[in-house]
C-alpha cells in the first residue's frame, strides 16, 4: 500500500492544457527547446548536408525516420515519468537479472559518450572560428583550431556552473527560432526539386556511393554506407545520453505526478496503487498533453532543420560534387545563403557559430541531468545527491577528457562516430523495449500506451536496434580483423 493515509490522486491540470488554442498550448514548450537547440548541430548542419551532398535526396527517408522514431522513444520515457513520478531509469533497475544492471550499463555507455561529443563539437566550432577569421589558411591552423576548442570548453564549463535552468531555456529558445527562420528562407530561395525530395522521403533505399566520391573523397568512400547511415541517424536529434537528461528536466516543470512532493507510491506498488478511476485517468491524460506538445514541437524542429539541410546539400553541393569533409566541414554550406546574396555569408557564419556554441553550453547541463538520473537508477539514495555537486563532477570529467581528445585526435568526425552509433542509435532501440517492459510491469492497464503508440514504439525499437547493430559491426569488424592480422 502507498506510504500515506491519504488517497492518491493526480493534481488538477491547468485549464490551458484543456484548451484547443495552439498558442496557449505552446506555453508548455520548454525543455524541448533546450533539447532541439542542443541537438541541432553536427547531426543537421554537418551530417544532413553531407548526406544530401553525397547521395542527393536518396537518404531523406532515413533522416526523417530517425527524427520520428526518436520522438516516439523520448515520449515513451516522458509519459512514464508524468504518470508515475519516477524516471524510467528507476524502473529499469527492476529488470530481470542482477539489480540495476540495466541502468548501470546505460549509465556507463552514456557517460562514456560525454567527452567524445564535447570534444568533437568544440573542435568543429574551432574549425568554424578559423574559417570565420581566415586563420585556416595559415600554417599551424590545426593547433589554432585546438586552442579555440580549449577556450570554448573552458567557457562552457564556466557558464554551466553559473547559469540557471530558466535562463538556459529562454536563451536556447531564441537561438532555435533564429536558426529555423534563416534556414527555411534558404531552402525556398534555392528552388529544390520537390518531387525528388518527396520520393527520397518515402522510398527507403540503401544507396551506393557515386563514382565521383571514390575518386574525389576516398576516405568517405572507404566508410561502408551502413556506417554512414548509422552515423547520420545517431548524430541526428541526439541520443540516449541526451534523452535521459531531457526526460529528467521535466522535474523542473512539475507535470502530473511530479507535482506531488516525495514518492507517494513505492515503485513496487505502482501497478496496484496508481488511481484508475475515470476522473483520475482523464486528469492524467490531460497532463500527458504537456510532454506530448513539448516532445512533438522539439522533434518537429529537428525534423524541419534536418530536411532543410539535406535538401540544400542535394540542391547546391551535390551538383558541384562537394562533400563537407576534412578541414572543410562547414564553409561549403555557406552557399546555402550566399546564393541569395553575398552579404548573407555573415548571417550563415553567425548562425552556425551560435548553433554549435549553444549546443556546447546546453550539453553540459543536459549531461548533468543524465548523470543525476543514472545515479537514481543505480543507487537508492542517488536522488539525494545535490544537482550542483553532480554538475561539478560532470564538468570536471567531461571537460578534462574532452580536452585530452581535442589535443590527441585529429578528425572531429572520427571522434563523434562511435558515440553516434552506440548512444545515438543502438541504445535508443533498447530504450524502447525497456520502456515497454516498464509499462507492463508497473502501470495498471488504464495508464498504459494505446495501441498506436505501442506499435510505433515496437517499430522504433526494432529499427534502431537493427541499424545500430549493423553499423557497429561494420565499423568495428575491419578494425578487429586488422588487429589480429586478418
What predicted TM-score, i.e. pTM, was given to this entire model?
0.85
| Count of other CB atoms within 10 angstroms of residue 51 | 30
* pLDDT for position 414: 67
Q: How far apart are CA 27 and CA 297, in angstroms?
A: 11
* pLDDT for position 222: 83
* pLDDT for position 6: 57
Mean pLDDT by 10 residues, the chain (486 residues): 62 89 81 77 71 90 88 96 94 91 88 88 89 84 92 92 72 70 78 91 86 88 79 78 92 87 75 92 95 92 85 88 74 72 74 78 89 90 88 95 90 70 83 95 95 96 88 76 66
CA atoms within 13 A on the CB side of 144: 16
Q: Identify the bridge partners of residue 328 per DSSP, sorted by sequence position.
A: 325
* pLDDT for position 295: 93
Domain limits, the chain:
15-55+101-257+289-419
Amino acid at each position: 500500500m502507498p506510504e500515506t493515509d491519504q488517497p492518491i490522486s493526480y493534481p488538477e491540470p491547468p485549464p490551458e492544457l484543456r484548451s484547443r488554442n495552439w498558442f496557449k498550448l505552446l506555453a508548455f514548450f520548454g525543455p524541448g527547446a533546450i533539447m532541439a537547440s542542443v541537438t541541432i548541430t553536427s547531426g543537421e548542419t554537418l551530417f544532413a548536408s553531407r548526406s544530401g551532398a553525397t547521395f542527393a535526396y536518396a537518404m531523406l527517408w532515413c533522416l526523417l525516420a530517425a527524427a520520428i522514431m526518436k520522438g516516439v522513444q523520448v515520449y515513451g520515457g516522458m509519459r512514464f515519468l508524468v504518470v508515475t513520478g519516477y524516471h524510467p531509469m528507476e524502473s529499469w533497475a527492476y529488470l530481470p537479472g542482477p539489480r540495476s544492471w540495466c541502468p548501470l550499463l546505460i549509465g556507463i555507455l552514456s557517460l562514456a559518450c560525454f567527452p567524445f561529443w564535447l570534444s568533437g563539437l568544440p573542435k568543429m566550432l574551432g574549425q568554424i572560428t578559423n574559417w570565420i577569421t581566415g586563420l585556416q589558411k595559415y600554417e599551424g591552423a590545426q593547433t589554432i583550431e585546438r586552442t579555440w576548442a580549449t577556450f570554448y570548453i573552458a567557457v562552457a564549463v564556466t557558464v554551466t556552473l553559473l547559469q540557471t535552468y530558466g535562463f538556459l531555456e529562454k536563451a536556447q529558445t531564441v537561438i532555435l527560432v533564429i536558426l529555423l527562420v534563416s534556414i527555411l528562407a534558404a531552402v525556398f530561395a534555392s528552388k529544390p526539386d520537390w518531387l525528388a525530395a518527396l520520393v527520397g522521403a518515402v522510398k527507403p533505399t540503401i544507396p551506393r556511393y557515386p563514382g565521383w566520391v571514390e575518386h574525389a573523397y576516398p576516405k568517405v568512400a572507404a566508410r561502408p554506407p551502413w556506417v554512414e547511415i548509422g552515423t547520420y541517424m545517431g548524430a541526428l536529434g541526439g541520443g540516449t545520453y541526451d534523452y535521459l537528461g531531457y526526460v529528467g528536466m521535466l522535474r523542473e516543470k512539475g507535470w502530473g505526478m511530479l507535482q506531488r512532493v516525495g514518492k507517494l507510491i513505492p515503485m513496487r506498488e505502482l501497478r496496484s496503487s496508481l488511481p484508475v478511476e475515470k476522473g483520475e485517468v482523464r486528469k492524467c491524460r490531460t497532463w500527458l498533453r504537456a510532454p506530448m506538445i513539448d516532445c512533438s514541437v522539439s522533434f518537429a524542429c529537428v525534423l524541419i532543420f534536418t530536411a532543410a539541410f539535406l535538401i540544400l546539400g542535394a540542391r547546391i553541393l551535390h551538383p558541384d560534387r562537394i562533400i563537407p569533409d576534412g578541414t572543410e566541414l562547414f564553409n561549403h554550406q555557406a552557399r546555402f545563403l550566399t546564393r541569395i546574396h553575398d552579404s548573407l555569408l555573415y548571417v550563415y557564419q553567425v548562425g552556425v557559430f551560435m548553433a554549435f556554441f549553444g549546443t556546447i553550453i546546453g550539453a553540459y547541463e543536459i549531461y548533468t541531468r543524465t548523470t543525476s538520473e543514472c545515479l537514481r537508477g543505480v543507487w537508492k539514495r542517488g536522488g539525494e545527491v545535490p544537482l550542483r555537486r553532480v554538475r561539478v563532477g560532470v564538468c570536471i570529467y567531461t571537460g578534462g577528457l574532452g580536452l585530452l581528445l581535442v589535443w590527441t585526435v585529429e578528425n572531429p568526425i572520427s571522434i563523434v562516430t562511435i558515440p553516434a552509433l552506440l548512444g545515438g542509435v543502438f541504445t535508443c532501440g533498447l530504450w524502447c523495449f525497456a520502456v515497454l517492459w516498464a509499462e507492463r510491469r508497473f502501470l495498471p492497464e488504464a495508464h498504459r500506451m494505446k495501441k498506436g503508440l505501442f506499435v510505433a514504439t515496437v517499430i522504433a525499437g526494432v529499427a534502431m536496434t537493427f541499424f545500430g547493430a549493423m553499423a557497429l559491426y561494420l565499423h568495428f569488424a575491419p578494425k578487429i580483423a586488422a588487429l589480429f592480422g586478418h
